[in-house]
Structure formats: structure tokens, C-alpha cells
Amino acid sequence: MEPEVSKISSMFSCSCPRCRKGKMFKHSMFHPTKFYVPQDDCAHCGLHYEVEPGLFWGAMYVSYSFAVATIVSIWLFMNFILGVQNLAYYIFIICSALVLSAPASFRYSRMFMLYWFSGIEYQPNYQHTK
């Protein structure tokens, strides 16, 4: 029997929420141009990832909250820990952080929607029949 994969670790590895084995994205998160290309269905259990129309529209709001958390965290750190006074530094650092974190934000906002709002249950022994 295979060891059970936790919900959090399978979410961070962008695995299927039903079987936790198939991958949701075709390429690595670090691929410069194809980090966002998703699989339509799970290669292992056959789950169609967009379980209802517009599910991933909600991921935009999750992604927005990630961006706000990033901006506030950087502002707090730069203002209260480093004591930076120059506005140009804030703009440069925050814009750089948002661009660099865009692939992770894109992926994890979708995974967040799939794991927490889609209603898909973990079924480790699910058998895919074609």
C-alpha cells in the first residue's frame, strides 16, 4: 500500500485533488513561457480539472489576495525593518517581486480553488475507466 499524500503537500506539488498523483500543469513552474499551460484532464484518474465553468475565474481573486499580501509584507519589511525612505526603491522591489512571483501566484491560486472550493474529494483508489 502506498503512503497517503497530505492535502497541503499535494496542493504545493500541483497534483490532482482526487488521486493526488496526476500533475495539473504540463511544464515546470520555472519554464519562462509555458509555466501556465495546464492539463485538461488528470493523466492518472481522468478528472477534468475545470469541474464547473468559471471555476478558475475565482482564482483571479485568490491571486489578487496573494499580490496584496506580497505588497503589504514587502512594505512592512522595508519600512519598519530596513527603514527605507525612497519611494523608488519600494516601487522597484514590489514590482520585481510581483513579476517574479507571478508563476507561483498563477498556479497556487488555481490549486487553492481546486482543493478548497471545487468540492472534489480525495479518492486514493479511484479507478479511471475509459
First to last CA, the chain: 24
Using the rule CB under 5 A, is 19 a contact of Zn ion?
A: yes
Distance separating alpha carbons of residues 70 and 4, to the nearest angstrom: 32
For residue 24, state whether it binds Zn ion (rule: CB under 5 A).
no
17 binds Zn ion (CB under 5 A): no
What is the DSSP code (8-state) at residue 15? B
Which of 11, 14, 16, 114 is the binder for Zn ion (CB under 5 A)? 16
Nearest approach, Cβ of residue 105 and Zn ion (Å): 23
Rule CB under 5 A: is residue 111 a binding residue for Zn ion?
Answer: no
Q: Does 42 bind Zn ion (CB under 5 A)?
A: yes
Binding of Zn ion by 18 (CB under 5 A): yes
DSSP one-letter string for 22-86: SBSBSS-TT-TTTTT-B-SB-TTT--BS--STTGGGHHHHHHHHHHHHHHHHHHHIIIIII----
Task: Tell me the window of 40-48, 66-74, 98-106, 116-124 that interacts with Zn ion (CB under 5 A).
Answer: 40-48
> Would you mind telling me the total number of residues written for the chain in this entry?
130
Stretch that binds Zn ion, among 1-9, 18-26, 51-59, 61-69 (CB under 5 A): 18-26
The contact set with Zn ion (CB under 5 A) reads 16, 18-19, 22, 42, 44-45, 47
